[in-house]
Each structure stands twice: as structure tokens, then as C-alpha cells.
Structure 1
Amino acid sequence: MRLFHCDQCGHLVFFESVHCVNCGATLAYLPDCAEVGAMRTLDVHTPSAPNMQPAAWQRVTAHSAPNAPHYRMCANRDQYQACNFAIPAHEPYSLCSACRQTLVVPDLSVMGNMLRWQKLESAKRRLYYTFARLGLHPDRPDWTPHYQFLADVPDQHVVTGHSNGLITINIAEADDDERVRRRVALHEPYRTLLGHLRHESGHFFWDKLVRDGGELDSFRQLFGDERQSYPDALQVYYANPPGYTEWSAQHVSAYASAHPWEDWAESWAHYLHMVDMLETAASYHTGLTMTGSAEAASVRIGDPFIQPPPSFEHMVAQWVPVTLLLNSLNRSLGQQDAYPFALSAGALQKLRYVHDIVRRPHDVDSHPATVLSPAGTGARLA
């Protein structure tokens, strides 16, 4: 995630910011230009649908520009403090393009659910941003997953997973103590809300980019044949969890070894970790150089979203020193490693495959539209 600056005073602001702490300007993320803008109110009233806010905002830098765009704030901002996106005035919606992706929210009258939902939406907006930066069309309903955030009820446990374009997240994952309990119980080194969303989105984009993109043969050569029984594979995995030496040579995680679908989803999520963190590193210090060892040459950290995009080899060369620095900083504070992974040659080969598929042009109109179904056959549940 890159850094932003307040249009009004130039002070540092962030993707989630709603006000500048220096000058007090109202801030909003503008998906149409991928910027956090300082906004000013306008004394205008435009025709709108019932219950829709008027288009009463404009970016402060645009006051003298002819035909400068007008915006509304997402309805989830004023009502729930759950969003900071703005909506171009010409769009006939009360919710922003990110919030419209959520089809089901938890019962917000239940104590604690409001905060859980806000955390989930915050992580989901970060995923939206990355998709936009990668050219994966998050503004198109047929090119983005949709979401339902559900709570357990008596005798019915909500399983986090993906099915036919719909991602389900158990809102208990938004509670830090519960998420840590599950991570420890499942012997996982890493478990976050954003990690969940990245992983489940991998299943969605497997359908789009691999299955519908004509890549099944190349996928099977590297990841294996996904037509093997998925339920049986998960049953075997949980009954006999593999040791480190059994999975580490070819996979990014133990869970990736369970089934080719999970191998892809774990690799996809890891690739999104890479591009997001490398953009953050580049944004904080353009031209930053790090050295991974006494013998290694210094590596200049650059933005992975520049055009033309960097080679995968260059991204990996940047990734190693960045993760070493990240873990060393955590240890300096007495914390566990934030990046508890070591990438083998086999895992890197799969990450390169994801990189190549993501970075190539996609004919979005040639792909079938996703049919949303919360319980379709072939559901990937974790």
C-alpha cells in the first residue's frame, strides 16, 4: 500500500484516513483515480435516487478545473463509520463499489458485530485496492468476488470459504483472540483477516484466470490435477498433517500441499503479500537499498506496480531483504516474526506462475460471468 498526502496541506495521510490530522481536511478514497483526496463541500443539489446523498463533494485541488468530478460519500461512512470511499456523482448508487460487493452483513444489533464488520470491510478495501493496481477490474461485478460475513448460530457453524464467486467469512475471525486460538490449533504460522480474503479470492481468480483463461494444462503440469477429490484430500490432510520436509520443497505453506486448488490459493495470497508489501517499502523510501548478506549486492527497492512491471526475479531480489528487515524490526520489539515463511525453489516457481498470469493482458469480455451461489457444487471451503 503506497502512502498518500493531503491535498490541502501536504501532510502524510493513509489509505484508511478520513480526516487529515494536521489540517482537519475531510478525506476520501477516490476509486476512479486511485487517490486519497482532500474534499470540500459544494452548495449543489443533483437529482438522485430516493435515500441517496446529493453529490456535494469535490476534491480541493479541482475547484478551478472545468468539469471537475463531483462525488457523494458512501452511505456506510456516515451511518456506520465503516467506509472512506467516495462515489462519482454520475453513478446511481448509495454504496461505493467496494461496499456493494458485500451481499450479507452480520446482525449489527448484536454487541461486537459492528466492530467485526468494520474490520472485515477495512481488509476487503485493501484487497480491492490491490486488484485495481493489478488491473483485475474490481469495479466490474463479473470480475470481482462478492462476500457474505456471517456469524455462527446454534447448531450451525459458518465455514470460511469460496463457492461460485461468493466468499464467506466467519466474523469470529475478526476477534484477535479467536483467530489466534484457531491459528494455534491448526498449527499455522500466519492467520489474518487480509490473508483470509487474499486466499479465498485466489479461488475466485482460479476460475477466471486458469479455468476460464485456457490455462488448465499449464496449471496441472505445475500444481497437479485439481480433478482429484477435494473433500477426500482435505480429510487426508487434517488426519495426517504433513511435516515440514514433506511440503516445504514445493509449497509456500503446509496447507498448500492439501490439494492443487489450495496450492494455487496459497500461492496467490502469497503473491499479493509480496506486491503489497513491496509497494509499501518503496513508498516509504523511494530508492531504499538493502543488503541481504555480507556477500550480496545491494538491492534497490522499487514499486512493483510501475510500468513496465518489474520481472519476477527482481521482485524476489527485493523481497528477501525487505522480509529480513521486517522480521528483525519485530524481534527488536520482542515480537514474533511478521513474515514466518521461507520460500523454496519449488514455491518460487509457483509464485512466478501466478505473477505471469496476473501480469498478462486479459480479455475480460470473453470470460463467462460468475454465477453467485452460496452452496454450489465444488465449493472450496478453506
Structure 2
Amino acid sequence: MKLFACSCCGQLVYFENTHCTRCGSLLGFVPELLELLAFAPAGEGLWKPLGRYQDTELYHQCNNFAHQGVCNWMVPAREEHQFCVACRLNRTIPNLDKPRNHIFWGQLEAQKRRLVYSLLQLGLPVISQQQDSAGLAFDFLEDIPEFNEMGRVMTGHANGLITLNIAEADPVVREQRRNDMAEPYRSLLGHFRHESGHYYWDRLVRATPWLEDFRQQFGDERRDYAAALQYHYEQGPISDWPDYYVTAYASSHPWEDWAETWAHYLNLLDTLETAWQFGLRIHPLIPDTPEMDLKQSVNPYRITRMDDLIEKWLPLTYALNSLSSSMGHSPLYPFVLPPATINKLRLVHRIIHESTDSMPAS
């Protein structure tokens, strides 16, 4: 994730900020520019950017920014949309008559915007199903206890619709499920990244020349999906899964392997960008140990060779895990990347970059 400076006073500000703590300016993210800007009122509900974009167009706040306080993205005044490009993806939001649901919804939206930021950085299509039937949509739903198991909301993806159980925004519930399902990296953002992987498999791999490459690396997706998941939950993962998969769940079926690898790829890119924005340099005080200087690098989203990303990623994870252990916590990065997984990451990287390079400019 990028770091930002208030375009009015230069104060360091962050992706989720809505106001500058120094000058008080309204802050809003402009997805077309991938910039968080300061704004001044321009009358009739419109806002004028401050700083180097002050002579460009006017904007209005996303409806969920102005009225619900769960967004901080802006919409060009020339557009008729009430909602920003991220909030237009919503098909169903939680019942806001329940105050707790508003809190959960805000947490879901914050993580969804981080996903959309990454997708925009990569140049991937982010189109609402309201605009295109092949687009993306989100349902944020809650369990209905009176219906027992039949009322449970299952997080998942189907034909471009991503459903998330809002209980995942409850840290107590999420921690319990993390332990019950032996998923050491279960997180809201992880759900968004994983389910988006299913969607982009349909867009980038299914019925494309990439399908055979996918099958060579991930396996044959025509294998019975329901039976594979049932076997995984009843019998557990294969014993040697760490040698071939990024997570145990990835071993259940090629589609899940792709989604887990896709999520890991987005995790890698966003973390490397954050380290790059902080000018991080790792130089272990051990003779003949390679150093990693992200300050001399370029935006990881623009790096075209996966091996260059891996070369920077592994030293960073060693440092992060060591720091976490020094604070008495579990490893921050509880993964090992075997050669088979790195090869899969290489394919994800190639598919994204070569597919977006051939897409028409929007």
C-alpha cells in the first residue's frame, strides 16, 4: 500500500484517512489517479482537489462516504454515479437497523477497498454487475439463527458474485474459526483476495489459451469439485501438501489452489509496496548475507519478473518473522514457499501481466 501526503499541507496520511490531522482538510481517494487528495468545498456538494491537481475536475463524495461514513473514495462530478467504483460493486449490504452491523460493514468495506486498490494497480477490470453481467458483485450477509444450519451464510463465489458472512468482521468469531479450521492466516482481506481469485480465474483463464498452462501447474479443474471439498473436510489434506501448495486448503482442488495462490500473490505485492514506500532496507549483520534495499527499487506492482519479486520477498519475510518473534508473537508470515508454489506464483504473475498488457485502454 502506498503512503500519501496531504496535498494541502504535506502531512503524512494513510489510505483509510478521511481528514488531515494537521490542516483539517477533507481527504478522499481518487481511484482514477490512485491518489489520496485533500479537498476544499466547491459548492452544491462538490469538492475541489488541492495541490497539484487543483486545476483538474471537481468531485463529489461517494454516497457511502457522505452519508454512511464507511468509505473515503471520490467520484468525478461529470459522472452520474452516486457511488464510487468500489461501492458500486455492492449488491447487498447488511441490515443497518442493527448498530453492530454498521461497524461490521465498515470493516468489510475497508478491506474490500484494499482489494480494489490492488486490482486497479494491476490494471485488472473492476466492473460492477450492474454495468456488465460478466462483472463483479458482493453480498454482505448475516446468519439467521432461527433457521439453524440452513440459515448459515457461506462465504464463497459463484458467477461473479462474492458472498461474505459479516460474522467474519467479528474478531472473536474470526479467531474461533481460524482455530477450528487450522487456518493461521485467516483474515477479512484474505477472504476478499481469495474469492476474487475465483472470479478472475473465470475472466483470465477459463476458455483462454492459458487453460492448458493452468492445468500443467495446478491440475485438472474438471475433477469433481464438491467431492474434492467433501474429502478434504472429512479426511484432511494430503500428508505432503507443504511440498506443493501454499496452504493445506489449496490441496483440496485446483480451483482452490489457484485462489489461494492468487491471494498470496496479492498479499506479496501489497506488502512489498508498503515496504518500498517506507524505503525499507534489510542488511543482516552476517558476513556474505545478501541485502535487500527496496529504496533503490521500483513499485512492486510494476516489476515484470516474478523472480525479482521473490528475491525481495523472502528476505523481507525473514525479517518480519524475526521481529514478530522478538515481540513474543507467532510468525507474522506463517508460510513456506516450496518450488512448486513459486512456479504457480510465476504463472499467476504472467497471466495477469500478459492479459492486462493486451487489454484495451479504458
CA distance in 1, matches of 2:328, 2:188: 23
In the other structure, the counterpart of 1:325 is: 319
SS at match of 1:133: helix
The answer to whether the aligner puts 1:159 opposite 2:123 as a matched pair is no
CA distance in 1, matches of 2:53, 2:4: 20
The answer to whether the aligner puts 1:73 opposite 2:95 as a matched pair is no
CA distance in 1, matches of 2:347, 2:171: 33
2:117 to 129, 134, 158: 129
| Aligned-residue identity in percent | 41
- Unpaired runs of at least 5, structure 1: 46-53, 366-382
In the other structure, the counterpart of 2:170 is: 175
Q: TM-score, normalised by structure 1?
A: 0.87
The answer to whether the aligner puts 1:298 opposite 2:286 as a matched pair is no
SS at match of 2:236: coil
Q: Relative to 1, partners in 2 of residues 1:237 and 1:24: Cα closer, same or farther, differing over 3 Å?
A: same
In the other structure, the counterpart of 2:47 is: 57
The one-character-per-residue Cα deviations of 1:352-376 (angstroms, maximum 9, x if unpaired) are 11011111144557xxxxxxxxxxx
CA distance in 2, matches of 1:138, 1:353: 21
- Pick which of 336-345 and 254-263 moved more: 336-345
CA contact (8 A) 2:7 2:52 kept: no
The answer to whether the aligner puts 1:355 opposite 2:349 as a matched pair is yes
In the other structure, the counterpart of 1:378 is: none
CA distance in 2, matches of 1:62, 1:311: 33
C-alpha deviation, 1:314, in angstroms: 1.1
Q: Relative to 1, partners in 2 of residues 1:64 and 1:18: Cα closer, same or farther, differing over 3 Å?
A: closer
SS at match of 2:199: helix
Amino acid at match of 1:276: D
Q: How does 1:252-271 map to 2 (within 5 A)?
A: 252-271=246-265
2:96 to 88, 91, 108: 108
CA distance in 2, matches of 1:63, 1:253: 44
CA distance in 2, matches of 1:174, 1:186: 17
SS at match of 1:80: coil
CA distance in 1, matches of 2:108, 2:54: 38
Q: How does 1:23-34 map to 2 (within 5 A)?
A: 23-34=23-34
In the other structure, the counterpart of 1:213 is: 208
2:80 to 77, 87, 92: 92
C-alpha deviation, 1:285, in angstroms: 1.1
Amino acid at match of 2:97: S
Amino acid at match of 2:163: T
CA distance in 1, matches of 2:5, 2:53: 18
CA distance in 2, matches of 1:24, 1:330: 35
C-alpha deviation, 1:84, in angstroms: 0.1
CA distance in 1, matches of 2:285, 2:17: 34
CA contact (8 A) 2:174 2:186 kept: yes
Q: Relative to 1, partners in 2 of residues 1:119 and 1:293: Cα closer, same or farther, differing over 3 Å?
A: farther
Q: Relative to 1, partners in 2 of residues 1:64 and 1:34: Cα closer, same or farther, differing over 3 Å?
A: closer
The answer to whether the aligner puts 1:248 opposite 2:242 as a matched pair is yes
- Pick which of 138-147 and 224-233 moved more: 138-147
Q: Relative to 1, partners in 2 of residues 1:79 and 1:350: Cα closer, same or farther, differing over 3 Å?
A: same
CA distance in 2, matches of 1:75, 1:181: 34
In the other structure, the counterpart of 2:19 is: 19
The one-character-per-residue Cα deviations of 1:68-118 (angstroms, maximum 9, x if unpaired) are 210000111122110000000011011111101011001011131001100
SS at match of 1:57: strand
The one-character-per-residue Cα deviations of 1:268-299 (angstroms, maximum 9, x if unpaired) are 0000000000000000116x244596533212
Bigger helix share: 2
CA distance in 2, matches of 1:247, 1:21: 48
CA distance in 2, matches of 1:64, 1:253: 47
The answer to whether the aligner puts 1:281 opposite 2:271 as a matched pair is no
The one-character-per-residue Cα deviations of 1:194-247 (angstroms, maximum 9, x if unpaired) are 00000000000000111043211111111111011101000110111126x510
CA contact (8 A) 2:127 2:136 kept: no
CA contact (8 A) 2:89 2:127 kept: no
Figure out how many residues of one structure are paired with residues of the other and give that number: 350
CA contact (8 A) 1:131 1:138 kept: yes
CA distance in 2, matches of 1:210, 1:364: 14
CA-based RMSD of the aligned residues comes to 1.9
CA contact (8 A) 1:76 1:82 kept: yes
CA distance in 2, matches of 1:290, 1:253: 29
The one-character-per-residue Cα deviations of 1:27-80 (angstroms, maximum 9, x if unpaired) are 00011211000001113x4xxxxxxxx4x1011125863xx2100001111221
SS at match of 2:243: coil
In the other structure, the counterpart of 1:233 is: 228
- Unpaired runs of at least 5, structure 2: none
C-alpha deviation, 1:317, in angstroms: 0.9
Amino acid at match of 1:94: Q
Amino acid at match of 2:78: H
